[in-house]
Amino acid sequence: IVVSAGGTQEPMDPVRVITNRSSGKMGYAIAEAARDRGARVTLVAAPTNLPDPVGVAIRRVATVEQMRGAVLEACQNTDVLIMAAAVSDYRPAQVASQKIKKDKKVEGVTINLVKNPDFFLEVPKGVLRVGFAAETEDLLGNARAKLKQKGLTLIAANDITAPDSGFNVDTNQVTLLDSQGKEEELPLLSKYEVGHRILDRVTKLLKRQDSRERN
Ligand code: PMT
């Protein structure tokens, strides 16, 4: 299983980055839950303060381009990809080679951003793909649209407005939506337990895939 975690960092200059509030806890918890069920796990981690989990192969990355390279490489030899990372949709168009200095005469600055690749679309078709959708509004509508646009088998719709859910807490509340239209609202659980619930669904889907291939 390949799992991504954390918030990517896009540099503006040698000292500044554009990033988000992801702590990596959700992705790390999925990686640990998968390891505890006997899976061989590769964790592609954007910068976090978390210790490396024991028994998991870890690839540390920072930018979306680096995460893309590491995920696509690991996906050459995997059954499942679970993307819990918060990936920057845009990055600065130019990265200054020296620290950008404050100009006393200039009151405001504009940063031009360009789109990052959505590398979910580049993952080999045989890999079972699970995504997350971190949303502040129209949770299920937006998650359903992402499930379809990104060609996923399963998506965890993550309401990040609830106090004990989402970024940088130990618990999470998600609704699992699958490509067959099934919706399962999970209660507030530890991120480790959310990981197991996702893996329960993944295991069932893999078994179904296996028996279809055998028949
Ligand atoms: O790390 P924690 O503090 O524990 O927080 C957990 C979390 C809130 C970050 C996590 O549960 C979560 O919701 N992760 C996905 C956050 C997100 O940014 O989702 P999105 O709606 O922007 O992207 C949808 C999916 O496409 C995600 O699986 C994302 O990894 C993937 N994606 C997004 C952009 C991109 N360029 N490439 C991608 O593959």
**Each residue of 87-108: pLDDT tens digit?**
999 999 999 999 999 999 999 9
For residue 198, the surrounding DSSP H or E stretch is: helix 191-214
State mean pLDDT over 61-84.
98
State mean pLDDT over 156-180.
96
State mean pLDDT over 34-46.
98
49 carries an active-site annotation: no
Please report which confidence band the pLDDT of residue 214 belongs to, taking 50, 70 and 90 as the band edges.
confident
| 86 Cα: distance to centroid of ligand 1 (angstroms) | 4
**Ligand 1 contact, 133 CB (< 6 A):** yes
- Name the average pLDDT for the chain: 96
**pLDDT number for residue 208:** 86
Is residue 210 pLDDT above 80, yes or no?
Answer: no
**Ligand 1 contact, 83 CB (< 6 A):** yes
**Quick check: 102 and 24 in contact, CB under 8 A?**
no
How far is Cα 43 from Cα 52, in angstroms, rounded to an integer?
A: 9
3-state percent helix, strand, coil for the chain, nearest multiple of 5? 30, 25, 45
Residue 196, Cβ neighbours under 10 Å: how many?
Answer: 17
**Ligand 1 contact, 136 CB (< 6 A):** no
**pLDDT number for residue 212:** 78
For residue 5, the surrounding DSSP H or E stretch is: strand 2-5
State mean pLDDT over 71-93.
97
Q: What percent of the chain has a predicted confidence (pLDDT) above 90?
A: 91
**Ligand 1 contact, 86 CB (< 6 A):** yes
State mean pLDDT over 187-205.
97
| 89 Cα: distance to centroid of ligand 1 (angstroms) | 10
Distances (CA, A) of 138 to 61, 81, 87, 159, 170: 31, 25, 20, 9, 24
Please report which confidence band the pLDDT of residue 211 belongs to, taking 50, 70 and 90 as the band edges.
confident
Closest C-alpha to ligand 1, atom 13: 134
Is residue 129 pLDDT above 90, yes or no?
Answer: yes
Task: Give the per-residue SS3 of 50-116.
Answer: CCCCCCCEEEECCCHHHHHHHHHHHHHHCCEEEECCECCCEEECCCCCCCCCCCCCCCCCCCCEEEC
How far is Cα 204 from Cα 202, in angstroms, rounded to an integer?
A: 5
Is residue 167 pLDDT above 90, yes or no?
Answer: yes
**pLDDT number for residue 46:** 98
Out of 20, 49, 77, 172, which one is annotated catalytic?
20
The radius of gyration computed from the CA coordinates of the chain, to the nearest angstrom, equals 18
